[in-house]
Amino acid sequence: MVNTVFVLNGPNLNLLGTREPEIYGHDTLDDIAGQLEDRARELDLTIDMRQSNHEGHLVDWLHEAQAYDARAVLLNAGAFTHTSIALYDAIKAVKTPVIEVHLSNPHVREDFRHVSYVGRAARGTIAGFGALSYLLALEAAARI
């Protein structure tokens, strides 16, 4: 699975397109998956896209990405970004590069969103470009 990029999405991202579209946009997670799959084909990559509202699933999938020798992980951990030491530890524990992704820019939002445990462990962060953030992260993953 060397050419596979895991795209892991955390809590409430299953509601994209309807949840606060003024912040997160109108694209659904399926829309984003389609955009990623189209671009991945052009880059000779495969996307393995997943979403869970449960922190442990994200941790397990980070471990799985390493076990399958994935090229990279794009991780939008949602609210777990700001709270999860478990995700921080999992990112630090795996050798697979992790790129933090956010649709909005957390630094211009509520103060509690300014701290990112994911970002402290990730290879890099792309945020604030809506659905384009995922495509920019995929471009980075293709070049790592």
| Boundaries of domain holding 61 | 4-143
For the segment 95-112, what is each residue's pLDDT rounded down to a tens digit?
A: 999 999 999 877 766 686
pLDDT at 16: 82
If one counts the domains in the chain, the total is 1
Comparing 64 with 110, the larger pLDDT belongs to 64
26, 63, 102, 117: the catalytic one is 102
Q: Residue 109 maps to which CATH number?
A: 3.40.50.9100
Residue 24 annotated in active site: yes
Percent of all residues in the chain with a pLDDT value above 70, rounded to a whole number: 92
Burial class (CB in 10 A: 0-12, 13-18, 19+), 76: buried
What pTM does this model have? 0.92
Q: Which is the catalytic residue, given 24, 88, 117, 134?
A: 24
What's 46's DSSP letter?
E
How far from 111 is each of 24, 105, 108, 126, CA to CA, in Å?
18, 12, 8, 19
> Is 88 part of the annotated catalytic residue set?
no
Residue 18 has pLDDT above 90, yes or no: no
CB 46 within 8 A of CB 3: yes
